[in-house]
Structure 1
Amino acid sequence: MSSTLQGSLYHWRNRYLLMRHGHSQANERGLIISSPERGLEAFGLSDTGQRQLDDRIAHWTWPRPTKVVHSDFLRTTHTAQRVAEAFGLSMAVDTRLRERGFGEFEGGADSAYPTVWEQDAASAEHDTGGVEPVSRVAARMREAIEALEQRYTGEVILVVSHGDPLQILLTALAGRPLTRHREQPALLPASITEWG
């Protein structure tokens, strides 16, 4: 699955391939894994995720990446590694690309996501139950992209992150209210969205 979005009010210096990590062991078990304590060393790609990446790489239809930047969670690191190896690239970590913090829902069932998203639709500032506010996620994700824009010109940069942060980023880049981030088409595991 992929889509192409264009920033209409800004001339981007680089092209971006925004990639959600492949299907993970957390996805497989139906768990929310959003804390570095759990996500950095465990819950990497599932067998399904490995197959998804094999398929993405074998049938690559996007521009060839020249840089790879990723969240340091294990599932995003594994995803970035597979693509970087396929194209002979090195990788760089940016912790601003990490999963959104889900507070008290950490380690619990992913059936709690709709509860959080319902609150997101009411306020981009809510931090109910220790959830990281949408506004804060948007700010750190934009900072990560802006840093790449300042550092590089003319590159095709693969940015490997997580579902919620990428949907929030795409909503921010499109200039839409952050409370509407769930109206953004769902980013499936291993999906790639072009920007710029």
Structure 2
Amino acid sequence: MSKTLIIWRHGQTDYNLGRRVQGQVDIPLNERGRAQAEAAASVLAGLPISRIVASPLGRARETAETVARRLGMAVELDERLKERNFGSWEGLTAEEIQAGWPEDFTSWRDWGDPNPERTGVELRREVGERVAESWREHAGRIVDGETMLLVSHGSACTQGVTAMLGIDPSDWFGIHGLDNCHWAVLQSSNRKPGWRIMGYNLGAEDTAIR
């Protein structure tokens, strides 16, 4: 039997709606985000979840609590599951970033990593390493056959999944970010890299959840 990790992105916020970079700014869910979380929770609460771990940022914690309430469980918080730190860009739109940091915007758009010394933006590799470290550590605390729910953020989930597959997130862009309140399913494997994707960008609208 395998261990299962459900990687769940939080529901919508006003920054998501306005296409602003959130990063580690603590933005709450908006009404649509809360409705998304409740709809997804009605599906996820039917799975054999044994633990719930979330980023401490309010939008992720509130999303996690929609499932926790249904299951009568507590949400554990882990700082390593916070969103990518976007430094000086947090709260800005792509147009504002391009106007203020044209060279770094191009580097971010084409290669994923602007110059961190100028922008304060955390590198994709660094995000992937800290998130994957957290997931592996928590996975070590469940047994084969158990399922864990891990609630985080758009970039953090993307880089974390990439790192779990043994790929450097700064060099590979093969998966799109999860939509708000959608999730990925990873299962442990005895073959390298130790984890495999069983489902990606699943949501409450999907009739078959694997």
Letter in 1 for 2:49: P
1:34 paired to 2:23: yes
SS class of match (1:49): helix
Deviations 1:30-75 (A, max 9, x none): 322223xx41xxx211111111122212344973311100000010
Q: Which of residues 78, 95, 100 in structure 2 aligns to 1:94? A: 78
Q: Which of residues 105, 123, 133 in structure 2 aligns to 1:143? A: 133
Indicate if the aligned counterparts of 1:124 and 1:178 stay in contact, CA closer than 8 A: no
> Within 2, Cα distance between the matches of 1:122 and 1:110?
15
> Within 2, Cα distance between the matches of 1:51 and 1:117?
36
1:132 alignment counterpart: 122
The 3 A distance-change label for structure 1 pair 106 and 123 is: closer
Give TM-score scaled by structure 2 length. 0.74
**Which structure would you say has the larger Rg?**
2
1:18 paired to 2:7: yes
> Within 1, Cα distance between the matches of 2:106 and 2:151?
22
1:77 paired to 2:61: yes
> Within 1, Cα distance between the matches of 2:168 and 2:110?
9
The 3 A distance-change label for structure 1 pair 61 and 79 is: closer
> Within 2, Cα distance between the matches of 1:66 and 1:117?
43
Structure 1: segments with no counterpart, 5+ residues: 1-10
> Within 2, Cα distance between the matches of 1:139 and 1:62?
31
Identity of aligned residues (%): 23
> Within 2, Cα distance between the matches of 1:143 and 1:69?
13
Structure 2: segments with no counterpart, 5+ residues: 99-103, 188-210
**Whose relative contact order is higher, 1 or 2, with alpha carbons under 8 Å and at least 6 apart?**
1
The 3 A distance-change label for structure 1 pair 187 and 79 is: same
| Count of aligned residue pairs for this structure pair | 179
> Within 2, Cα distance between the matches of 1:100 and 1:91?
21
Indicate if the aligned counterparts of 1:17 and 1:159 stay in contact, CA closer than 8 A: yes
> Within 2, Cα distance between the matches of 1:123 and 1:48?
29
> Within 1, Cα distance between the matches of 2:106 and 2:35?
29
1:158 alignment counterpart: 149
1:194 alignment counterpart: 185
TM-superposed CA distance for 1:116, in Å, is 5.5
> Within 1, Cα distance between the matches of 2:106 and 2:131?
18
Letter in 2 for 1:80: A
> Within 1, Cα distance between the matches of 2:5 and 2:111?
30
